[in-house]
Structures are given as structure tokens and as C-alpha cells.
Amino acid sequence: MLQAPSMDISGNSGCSVRLIKKGYQLAVEKSCSQASYIPRLKAQIEKQNTFRAFTSSVAISIPELYWESESINHYCAVMEFLPYLDFIDFFGTCSVPALFKSIDTIEAFIDENTRSSTSKINLAALAKLYEIEQKVTTDKDKIQIIQHSARQLRNILLNKDIFLPNGECHGDFTLSNMVFTTSGENIGLFDFLDSYIDSPAIDLVKLRQDTQLGWSFIKTRKPSSRIRIHQGLNQMDLFAERKLSELDVSKEDYNVLQAVNILRILPYANDALTLSFIQRSLNILEA
């Protein structure tokens, strides 16, 4: 029986999401009333449409956009509802073959978006660090975290070139932005996001934000079989680590990219749990 993905994954988005009826079917309504966030949401929807038009894999489902509406300080997009399993339900109940099938599907998505050329990303990463620093100016704990980490990362980025494969990327490739069929043969993707570096390697970095560090897992309030989920996360992390190596991303380079990725959460961290996650993750990456 098809199950609906849970809608209780918390995050730092400026949007509201709800299920609505479209005739005899369910649809997803995503809306925003924050003037400063509306352009970001519109860019997400545009990127989702672009990926839906050009992704060739039948194993990847991207919601169809039904309609958009916009008025002063309000934007709304209504799109297809994918009646798949969220990652908590999938990892908590899937068979071993289904788990490895889902990994194959993700690997095919990465391969499809990977080009043979590479680009040096140091300047983009340094610019992102500077942008984060400018957003963290008042909270003492946050300032301490960014000053310590940015100093170390800047020293690495100024002295060691990092190259990544060119290509398209989802931009926010965490498990909370995926849904899975029971068999693992199909994966639905949503909440696409612009990335400061366009590379499928960044999608793998975002995936390991979950599989290695457990970001989406700590943000859910849904009861689950934690042992089974951690076993599934471990297998998917082994894949993501292997795939990064195949893309010539060293462990040291990964640690730098992941640290910048984690620091991007810092300006929006408004609770002790999120701050603890950031500090714990940075400690792991610095070890």
C-alpha cells in the first residue's frame, strides 16, 4: 500500500507546505509570505521544472508544477504529490535489496549530472565563508564558532587547490528532500536549491550531511526504528564516500566542503539542538 511522506520534517525554510485536494487527487501547496524569501522559492520552483524537463532517468520522479500564483508579498506553487515513503519510513522498513536499489538510483542520478571537466572552487568557497561571517554578528556562541572554523578553512583554501567535476546538482540533496517507493526503484526529488558551486559532488556532500552526520534524522519528530535507520544510513554513507573518491574528491577536500556546508546553517540556527549539531559536526570534520 502506498504511504504518504510525513510532513513533519523541521527546517529553516521561510515557506509553509500543506497537502490540498486537486479534484480527486492530493497536491502539495508551497507558499511564502516573506518578501525577502519569495525570490528564493521562485528560483527553487524554476530549478525543479528544469530538472524535470531534462532528467532522463525513469527511476527519478520530480513533481509536476500545476500552477503558480503571485500577489504583493505572497507567492504560491501547487505541484504534484508523490505518494511515496519518506526516508524514516523507507529506512525503517525496507528490505536489503530495496536499500541497495535506492543507492543504485542515486548513483545513476549523480552519474547523469557529472561532466568530464573540472573547475577550481576555492574562490567560491572563500566567498561563501565571507558571506556567512557577515550574517553572524550578534550571537557570541555563533561568532565563536564561525571565527574558529573560518580561520582554519580559509588557511586551507588559500594554500591548497580543490577541483570538483562540473555538472548540474540538486543543491539541497538531503534525505528530507527525497521520497522512496517501497522497492527502492524510484526516488522522488523536491526542494531544489541554487548552489554556490554547481557540481554533483556537492550533492554527495549534502547527502553525507545526513548519512554521516545525521542532520535530517535529528530534525524529525517521527517515531522510528533507529537501529534499522542507522544501518541504512551507514550503507548509503559508504556509497557516498566511495562515489566522492571516484570523483577524485579526497577526504581532506571533503572535510573542507562539508565544513562550509555545515556553517551555512549557522546564521539560521535558533535552537540549542541545531547549534549542538553544528559544533559536533565541525569537531568530527576537524578530527
pLDDT in tens, 44-66: 999 999 999 999 999 999 999 99
Which pLDDT score, from 0 to 100, does residue 5 have?
A: 44
- Exposed/middle/buried for 159, CB within 10 Å: 0-12, 13-18, 19+? exposed
Kindly report the pTM of this predicted structure: 0.92
3-state helix, strand, coil in the chain (%, to 5): 50, 15, 30
CATH 3.30.200.20 intervals, the chain: 16-80
* Percent of the chain whose pLDDT exceeds 70: 95
pLDDT tens digits, 200-231: 999 999 999 999 999 988 877 776 678 889 99
CATH of domain 87-286: 3.90.1200.10
CATH of domain 16-80: 3.30.200.20
CATH 3.90.1200.10 intervals, the chain: 87-286
Collapsing DSSP to helix, strand or coil, 77 comes out as strand
- Exposed/middle/buried for 86, CB within 10 Å: 0-12, 13-18, 19+? buried
Amino acid at 135: K
Residue 40 C-alpha cell reads as: 528564493
Collapsing DSSP to helix, strand or coil, 71 comes out as strand
Phi (first) and psi of residue 3, to 5 degrees: -120, 145
